Amino acid sequence: MFYTHLALLWHTCQVMCYFRSMALRTKLLPSVPRFQVDNFGYYRRSFCAEISSLGRMPWSQLYDDAIDEGLILENPKTGREVAFVLSNVKHDREGEILQWEFIPLGELVRQNPQLCGVTLMIFND
């Protein structure tokens, strides 16, 4: 009986720690770069820009407890913000970077299904 209660207590602590860590992860770092949607072209559900047109390092670490990197896209007309996470880097045959591809954060897609399939591409010029 004692071991059953101990196991239940241990499991409860694990679950609480998990949900606490998820709550902490939902807060993006304030240093994440923000860009207005006007800085990007839009074609077939993809926002596109050249890295030189963004003027600075366009992405950084999203959370203090993870290595995910990304940026935030703001729409000044609607006031909505969407965080994008780096998902892929494409290289040419010589190994030079051609483009960086970003997708919306998973929790944002679950909340807003219309974001499913939207990408953000930054081209290396």
Q: Which residues pair with 48 in a beta bridge?
A: 41, 121
Q: What CA–CA distances, in Å, run from 50 to 3, 57, 64, 89?
A: 60, 12, 27, 14
The per-residue pLDDT string of the chain (125 residues; one tens digit each, 9 = 90 and over) reads 544 443 444 444 443 333 333 444 568 888 888 999 999 999 999 999 999 998 777 898 888 888 889 999 999 998 889 999 999 999 999 999 999 999 999 888 888 899 999 999 999 98
Q: Would residue 57 count as lying in a domain?
A: yes
Q: CB–CB of 119/41 below 8 Å?
A: no
- Among 86, 56, 87, which residue's Cα sits nearest to residue 69? 86
pTM of the model: 0.75
Q: Would residue 32 count as lying in a domain?
A: yes
Residue-level pLDDT at 108: 87
Q: Would residue 12 count as lying in a domain?
A: no
The continuous run of DSSP H or E covering 3 comes out as helix 2-25
Q: Would residue 74 count as lying in a domain?
A: yes
The token pair at 57 is 């390092």
Q: Would residue 61 count as lying in a domain?
A: yes
Q: Would residue 1 count as lying in a domain?
A: no
Residue span of the structural domain in which 85 resides:
28-123
Q: Would residue 101 count as lying in a domain?
A: yes
- Among 33, 45, 43, which residue's Cα sits nearest to residue 85? 33
Domain count, the chain: 1
